Amino acid sequence: MIVTATEFKTNLGKYLELAMRQDIFITKNGKNIARLTSPTVNKLAVLDSLVGIVPKTATVDEETIREERLARQ
């Protein structure tokens, strides 16, 4: 979730609750200045669970990934 610094300051309690479930990106003048994240979520464990999803024999290059991403928009 992305919020402005002013919105974050105004509703701090709300965003502290949300941070337990998802990362909160705080912006100022349209630029990311901070990220609020939960200390209980083990990000490395999440990444480890993704290892092996794509078979080693799969030939996926950057252009294919780019085309698939643009097709979803």
pLDDT tens, per residue, the chain with 73 residues: 999 999 999 999 999 999 988 889 999 999 999 999 888 777 777 777 777 666 666 677 788 878 888 887 7
- The CATH number covering residue 22 comes to 3.40.1620
> Count of domains in the chain?
1
Cα–Cα distance, 30 to 42 (Å, whole number): 29
- pLDDT for the residue 55: 64
Domain that holds residue 6: 2-72
Q: For the whole model, what pTM was predicted?
A: 0.55
Cα–Cα distance, 12 to 54 (Å, whole number): 39
- pLDDT for the residue 68: 82
- pLDDT for the residue 42: 72
